[in-house]
Amino acid sequence: MAAMTEHVRYAAADGVATLTLDSPHNRNALSRQLVAELYELLERAEHDDAATVVVLRAEGRTFCSGADLSEAAEDGMEKAAGVLVDLQRRIVTFPKPVVTRLHGNVRAGGIGIVAASDVAISADDATYAFTEVKLALTPAAISLTVLPRMTDRSAALTFLTGETFDGTAAAEMGLVTRAVPEAELDAEVDRVCAALVTGHPQGLRETKGLLGRHLVANIDANGADLAKLSARLFGSDEAREAMLAFLNRKK
């Protein structure tokens, strides 16, 4: 029996642990395997004394497409949404700064990872969209971290229209920290990480905890209910019809 392909890779240098999502065949969806590996490597990074900062990045042209819908159909959407809720909490409460490096397409649960991160550096032509409204759904689970990051007006416009917007707009809305040309993306991530590694581990840990308290409180208070809302909408006749129509349009 062949060994499973590695879906997340780990590398460490210059005080930075880099976790690379490497499952391009399903657009880096949050499959059971990818999530398990991501948790395992976050644990490794947490206890790696040589790593002061963690960078999350991805191979392929999609950073992360969110839940693995084939597995969600087997396990139930409430469980899939719960996995995303827990992952956001893990990133928010992670004791070291988490930086996301973003290019290509960022969708669904991938945007939740972005919002849970401490710093998000995006290519200016990366694309973002909350397309749930077009499928009779709502971005319930990711709203836990996304809504506190974005202005109310930006959230209303992007959530309700489902329109695609670029990295420059994402920075203006507060969803990402900064947008730069993709050719400059690695250099900018390196620059931010170099600044972060000058911080004392205790200072970074306690400051991150201070900044993230409201996010943790929101996740703990509302995460379970929003996972149930995701499941209810996903299982509705309206959502099934909308998703079938979407798939037929793509053929």
Please give the residue range of the domain that contains residue 28.
8-184
Split at pLDDT 50, 70, 90, the class of 65 is confident
Split at pLDDT 50, 70, 90, the class of 201 is very high
Residue 66 lies in a domain: yes
Model pLDDT for residues 159-191, shown as the tens digit of each residue = 999 999 999 999 999 999 999 999 999 999 999
Residue 233 lies in a domain: no
Evaluate whether 115 touches 95 at the Cβ level (below 8 Å): no
- Say what the pLDDT of residue 2 is: 38
Residue 70 clears pLDDT 80, i.e. is over it: no
Name which of 34-48, 132-146, 231-245 the model is least confident about.
231-245
Split at pLDDT 50, 70, 90, the class of 120 is very high
- Say what the pLDDT of residue 80 is: 85
Residue 102 clears pLDDT 50, i.e. is over it: yes
pLDDT over 90 percentage in the chain: 81
- Looking only at the bridges linking them, the beta strands covering 16-21 and 8-13 are antiparallel
Residue 82 clears pLDDT 80, i.e. is over it: yes
The more confidently predicted of residues 93 and 5 is 93
Residue 190 lies in a domain: no
Residue 228 lies in a domain: no
Interatomic CA distance for residues 62 and 41, integer angstroms: 20
CATH at 163: 3.90.226.10
- Say what the pLDDT of residue 98 is: 98
Number of domains in the chain: 1
Interatomic CA distance for residues 25 and 5, integer angstroms: 11
Determine how many CB atoms are found less than 10 A away from the CB of residue 10.
Answer: 17
Residue 161 lies in a domain: yes
Name which of 44-53, 157-166, 182-191, 238-247 the model is least confident about.
238-247
Model pLDDT for residues 6-20, shown as the tens digit of each residue = 999 999 999 999 999
Evaluate whether 68 touches 76 at the Cβ level (below 8 Å): no
Residue 251 clears pLDDT 70, i.e. is over it: no
Region 117-128: mean pLDDT is 98
Model pLDDT for residues 140-163, shown as the tens digit of each residue = 999 999 999 999 999 999 999 999
Residue 45 lies in a domain: yes
Residue 2 DSSP SS3: coil
- Say what the pLDDT of residue 250 is: 59
- Model-level pTM greater than 0.75? yes
Residue 16 DSSP SS3: strand
Residue 213 lies in a domain: no
